[in-house]
Structures are given as structure tokens and as C-alpha cells.
Amino acid sequence: MKAGPLLFVGALVLAAASWFAVVEPLRSRAEERAGRLLAEDHPVERVRLARERFRAWPGPDAEAAARLENELHDYASPRPEPALDPSLSVDPAGLVKGRLPWTEVQHLLAWSAAQPRGVRDLDIRAVAEDPGLADCLVVLEPEAR
């Protein structure tokens, strides 16, 4: 027999042996890792389970629904515009400044947020002489002309 066909058959046998020696262990490790990944908790699976639980949820009872409705009504009802403390000086151009007790600063912030003009600058600092007071400055955006 000539050497060419023997080399060809030998190469085929080596290729088959190398397949089982190299590729099969890698494939089995890849299958194992894929199985572990599929067994782990995934966000998509959690969303699917949450949707199924939500569809199966009967909803709130009548008492809880009435309580939620009342709370939503309280949030939806219009609130009166917060009033400014009379100790603050208010300039019609949009400048508000003065000293407030720290407990009243929240009201100033609520008043600023309720204004139709945006707030350009807001500066609130502690007063060194009296730690119970805050030195406040609010500058509103100029009115559109």
C-alpha cells in the first residue's frame, strides 16, 4: 500500500480522536454552563412571574379600595397656594429676601415651586448670630414680555 492513502486515513483517525479529546469536553462544559444560566433567576422571568401573580390577584377589598380612593382624592384636590411669611420683602421684579426661622424655610420652598415663573436662584444660609434663623434669597425668572 502506498503512503498517501495511509497518511489520509491516519489524518482522519487523528481528526476523530482530536474531536473527542478537545471539542467534546468543551461542548459538555458549555452545556453545563448554559444549564446553570437557565436555572438562575433572570429579570425577564421575574417580570413574567410578577405579571402572572398580578393577573391572579383579586384586587383590594371594598374597605381598602375606599381608603385608596380617599387618599387619591386628597392628592388630586387643588391645594391653596402657599403664603409667604410677612417678614420677607417681595420685589415685583421677582426678588424675595429676608430672614426666616428654619421651620418656615419649607414654606418658602413650596411657595417658590408654586410660582408660574421658574426659580433662577435660590440661596438659603444659616445666620451666624442666630442659628434658629435662615437668611433666604429667591430670584424668580423675569416675566416674558
Residue 13 has pLDDT above 70, yes or no: yes
CA distance 99 to 124: 9
Domain boundaries, the chain: 89-140
Residue 80 has what DSSP assignment?
P
Q: Say if residues 124 and 139 touch (Cβ distance below 8 Å).
A: no
Would the pTM count as exceeding 0.85? no
Residue in this structure with the C-alpha cell 380617599, named with its chain if needed? 70
Maximum average pLDDT range among 38-42, 45-49, 71-75, 110-114: 110-114
Q: Please, is 134 exposed, middle or buried when counting C-beta atoms within 10 Å of its C-beta (0-12, 13-18, 19+)?
A: buried
Q: Say if residues 118 and 141 touch (Cβ distance below 8 Å).
A: yes
Per DSSP, the three-state class of 142 is coil
pLDDT tens per residue across span 115-131: 888 899 999 999 999 98
